[in-house]
Structure 1
């Protein structure tokens, strides 16, 4: 005996046993009236669409079959966005003047983060499949759990609470009751207390079970920051200073190990669907970076019997290798995803598996894989070779710069757009072109048509530049040499008492330059030459 619900359009029936029903609540909803049932294992079950006259019938049925009184609950209709959050057994309630404005079942919460000093972000579960009706029992978002919020086409995905001030946590006695002696716990930030309580109530992270392996302080290029990685049986968790993420292994669609061309680092790239969300930003790829010589030693928190029984030898009880290799092997064993590495058919001019290039203003590396191309770190871009229509190689910019670098533009089939990678070293043209041909990719080379003209223009520019430099140097004499030299003849105190031409001190002030002129005119000494020239200059001045 129990409670059952069957979709009108056909499908599986949702049922709830009699012993699993704890309480029931009747209230006004957006569509008529709502019946909310609190269960022991399924959390909160919400059913709406009732008419007002159904209340008496529902009340009698619950009293007769479940021995439960249906409570009539009135909601706050003032529309205030400030109130008090209270944590119940199965849901978070936002009360306005002691009446609930709305409730959020813990089963609908997938994650929560401290978005600021006084702000807590709450992320809601997403349906695993948009076609799910919520009654098929698959693990996933709200629809997969048979919840009310999964029934609509549009769905709220995040809510933020601003919680100022400080608060204290009530301590629990051994019997589970709150302390009643008036003593309160240590004061702490109210937002932090709200966050910690919600993490505990919603069992975020705890529901995954025991941690199988933990990797601390791993550098992530996308999203940017350092995260601790906790790996569970069916999911893994990224724990950072500000954001935490819980990701199911089922969401992993691609897994790459990409050796960075600097010979110092290795990147692990994980493709996710649905993407990771951080506010309004979506991250379809996780990009981690590790030092190649950084080794770790890890013991998995599982017995050898469980490893052999559940994973058929894909995991080992102990690992001691470079960090990127250990993480990749553990991910592969737990998720069952294939690890993709760069193609052996490609080797750059410097014997690397990737070439340096840019997408707009973002620099990164383009890696050639057996069946695709991958650009990392930002924006991480994946291109399947089967989806490529043509690759165009061209030069962009002036004659000299274009002779050193080139661009490639990858046009996708079916009018899906194109991806342009620019500033690729000219030395990488031949290795890339050979790889394109090996993969039977159609190539359009626009550089062959104007190579001679560009070379001639570059040479001409070099000749013009050199000849112009010579002309300018000849015209300026030694001006270029004197630009950065120190003026040794400069005296700072000469500014205050400069002798004019008609002053008596003028004779001593111009002694150095007059002596040089006298040496160039005749064989007489410098003093005589100066004495002869002075009266002539004064006579002209007097006139």
Structure 2
């Protein structure tokens, strides 16, 4: 799409007079406005609202193209390596000056291209140099630079090719960016031109093979290690994960992901009741598939690895990069990753991700079980729900972790207050309570239906952390009635529905003694007593109204009986 009308003026550029234009950067991640300077040594574009800049040397320009886009025009500078840079928002009157500049300074005549603008979505694909060109009626409609394509996936059953686009690191979150494109190629068969003797292949197979020739794939000698059949709960699939020097790839049956190590924030390893360990990788930025965002990779591993025989751990062979020693020498846990490692699948997975994701001065932290245990002293979590979803709230030494849906990680250092609330409606006794964790940035998370047996453990643990680690300045315990205006409000209808849904979904039998009075559980004894009497009177009123309705029903039945008897006598 074209930008606003360009404005030009004359500014110095390394001793020469140069033209400047107020235009947008074009291409897959375009849209940001900035200043384009044309100088003797080449062109440079600088964004207005960020540090992003794009430079092209005059000697590197192979061709220059002028394209009409809506009411405005686009300048394309293509290099000899088939990469191109695009600038949007020129006016038609700028063409003459740009043509002279391209001819005299860049030694490339400005070619005028005409595009098909009918808007048809059916045509043909042609791989032209380093570009994938889409043509309609033999006229170019649009093109994609294959240098911008991270991966081309083939969905053979549906005759589709999905292109995943490389995302720039410094693009603003406010900008739109092309993530992927999906193309359907009709189920027709064609001969393999390279080997006519081979069986006929479908057009989608041939096009996929042609595209992948131009993509920069990792070399086999760049693979550090490949771990197969890693079961993940989020995203839900079984993946083969290949670790490279600066990223790892997750290849699943339906979709794949590429994760850069510097996107890994922390790793959390926690147990569940089914003798499995969850390994949670926290990501920023998150993975994205369409409109779905994955802020965490949640995988699970058995407590006992079937590959361990007679107590002997499996041996894993790693291919470490040449710069391994220099790159990771500052980290104390560097020796946990070696060319030959012995351990379970989980141990190798965690150690490799931890070391390779550690950045200079910022080692990746692995959070494990801390001091907190539930009331039976066995697990580091309590049962809870978020909205209608049941799960487990893990309380570690530095973070809260909720699994499974949605997965939530909250660091203690970011917590301002923790509010306890008993959910008692028409009963004088609450079988569960809620907590509301308010963070220093104003965000709040509420966890519902925590069994009342966990109250004392949690309250004491939070008090110890608040006083011991933060001198009472963070993780302060508060009542709803003692907090701000929003904390004193009653639960909304939506919250009550979610709580009821979670309570209905929870598959557990509650002990009968949970319905008995528990004075220790009362957060405010005086208030609890008054509430108890109020609810008791409400219950009495309900019983009385129920008795009246029963009496009325009996009276109506007697009247009907009398009428029937009178009819029988009359007959």
TM-score (norm 2): 0.65
Alignment-derived partner of residue 24 in structure 1: 64
Q: Give the distance between the partners of 1:55 and 1:339, measured in 2 at CA.
A: 56
Instruction: Identify which range, 2-11 or 211-220, moves more after superposition.
Output: 2-11
Quick one: which of 247, 260, 284 aligns to 1:248? 260
Instruction: Identify which range, 33-42 or 190-199, moves more after superposition.
Output: 190-199
Quick one: which of 161, 164, 170 aligns to 1:129? 170
Structure 2 residue 412 is matched with structure 1 residue 390: no
Quick one: which of 328, 346, 352 aligns to 1:311? 328
Q: Give the distance between the partners of 2:377 and 2:100, measured in 1 at CA.
A: 81
Q: Give the distance between the partners of 2:47 and 2:297, measured in 1 at CA.
A: 41
Q: Give the distance between the partners of 2:282 and 2:301, measured in 1 at CA.
A: 18
Structure 2 residue 278 is matched with structure 1 residue 267: yes
Q: Which secondary structure state, in structure 2, belongs to the residue aligned with residue 128 of structure 1?
A: coil
Alignment-derived partner of residue 518 in structure 1: none
Q: Give the distance between the partners of 1:162 and 1:12, measured in 2 at CA.
A: 35
1:181-226 superposed Cα distances (whole Å, 9 cap, x missing partner):
xx375444544554554444333x5389811111111001001001
Structure 2 residue 304 is matched with structure 1 residue 301: no
Q: Give the distance between the partners of 1:31 and 1:229, measured in 2 at CA.
A: 47
Alignment-derived partner of residue 401 in structure 2: 374
1:334-353 superposed Cα distances (whole Å, 9 cap, x missing partner):
11142332352212224222
Structure 2 residue 345 is matched with structure 1 residue 333: no
Which protein has the larger Cα radius of gyration, Structure 1 or Structure 2? 1
Say whether the 8 Å CA contact 1:229–1:236 is kept in structure 2.
yes
Alignment-derived partner of residue 302 in structure 2: 291
1:240-281 superposed Cα distances (whole Å, 9 cap, x missing partner):
11111112112122221222243x211111111221111111
Quick one: which of 218, 222, 232 aligns to 1:210? 222
1:20-54 superposed Cα distances (whole Å, 9 cap, x missing partner):
33333332234633232222447122234444455
Alignment-derived partner of residue 460 in structure 2: 434
Q: Give the distance between the partners of 1:281 and 1:197, measured in 2 at CA.
A: 30
Alignment-derived partner of residue 235 in structure 1: 247
Q: Give the distance between the partners of 1:184 and 1:18, measured in 2 at CA.
A: 47
* Structure 2: stretches of 5+ with no match in the other structure: 1-39, 308-313, 467-474, 481-520, 544-571
Structure 2 residue 291 is matched with structure 1 residue 280: yes
Relative to structure 1, is the Cα distance of residues 399 and 191 closer, same or farther in structure 2, using a 3 angstrom cutoff? Answer: farther
Alignment-derived partner of residue 118 in structure 1: 159
Quick one: which of 434, 448, 462 aligns to 1:421? 448
Alignment-derived partner of residue 484 in structure 1: none
1:462-521 superposed Cα distances (whole Å, 9 cap, x missing partner):
xx9xxxxxxxxxxxxxxxxxxxxxxxxxxxxxxxxxxxxxxxxxxxxxxxxxxxxxxxxx
Q: Which secondary structure state, in structure 1, belongs to the residue aligned with residue 222 of structure 2?
A: coil
Alignment-derived partner of residue 92 in structure 1: 132
Q: Give the distance between the partners of 1:239 and 1:83, measured in 2 at CA.
A: 31
Structure 2 residue 203 is matched with structure 1 residue 162: no
Alignment-derived partner of residue 389 in structure 2: 362
Quick one: which of 356, 362, 370 aligns to 1:344? 370
Relative to structure 1, is the Cα distance of residues 128 and 14 closer, same or farther in structure 2, using a 3 angstrom cutoff? Answer: closer
Deviation at 1:396, TM superposition (A): 5.4
Instruction: Identify which range, 370-379 or 311-320, moves more after superposition.
Output: 311-320
Relative to structure 1, is the Cα distance of residues 407 and 252 closer, same or farther in structure 2, using a 3 angstrom cutoff? Answer: same
Q: Give the distance between the partners of 1:332 and 1:356, measured in 2 at CA.
A: 29
1:429-464 superposed Cα distances (whole Å, 9 cap, x missing partner):
33222211112233357950449959x99xx99xx9
Q: Give the distance between the partners of 1:191 and 1:66, measured in 2 at CA.
A: 39
Relative to structure 1, is the Cα distance of residues 41 and 260 closer, same or farther in structure 2, using a 3 angstrom cutoff? Answer: farther
Deviation at 1:113, TM superposition (A): 4.5
Deviation at 1:408, TM superposition (A): 2.9
RMSD: 3.7
Q: How does 1:8-23 map to 2 (within 5 A)?
A: 14-17=54-57, 20-23=60-63
Aligned residue pairs, count: 426
1:126-150 superposed Cα distances (whole Å, 9 cap, x missing partner):
4423459xxxxxxxxxxxxxxxxxx
Structure 2 residue 71 is matched with structure 1 residue 43: no
Say whether the 8 Å CA contact 2:192–2:201 is kept in structure 1.
no
Deviation at 1:297, TM superposition (A): 3.3
Alignment-derived partner of residue 7 in structure 1: 46
Relative to structure 1, is the Cα distance of residues 329 and 414 closer, same or farther in structure 2, using a 3 angstrom cutoff? Answer: closer
1:151-190 superposed Cα distances (whole Å, 9 cap, x missing partner):
x943343433233314447455xxxxxx7xxx37544454
Quick one: which of 473, 477, 485 aligns to 1:443? 477
Relative to structure 1, is the Cα distance of residues 415 and 47 closer, same or farther in structure 2, using a 3 angstrom cutoff? Answer: closer
Say whether the 8 Å CA contact 2:43–2:55 is kept in structure 1.
yes
Q: Give the distance between the partners of 2:73 and 2:403, measured in 1 at CA.
A: 52
Quick one: which of 191, 214, 238 aligns to 1:201? 214
TM-score (norm 1): 0.68
1:64-114 superposed Cα distances (whole Å, 9 cap, x missing partner):
566545443210011112212222322222211111111122233345545
Say whether the 8 Å CA contact 1:222–1:378 is kept in structure 2.
no
Alignment-derived partner of residue 224 in structure 1: 236
Q: Which secondary structure state, in structure 2, belongs to the residue aligned with residue 206 of structure 1?
A: coil
Alignment-derived partner of residue 344 in structure 2: 322
1:292-351 superposed Cα distances (whole Å, 9 cap, x missing partner):
222553211126x64323322453111121211111111111111423323522122242
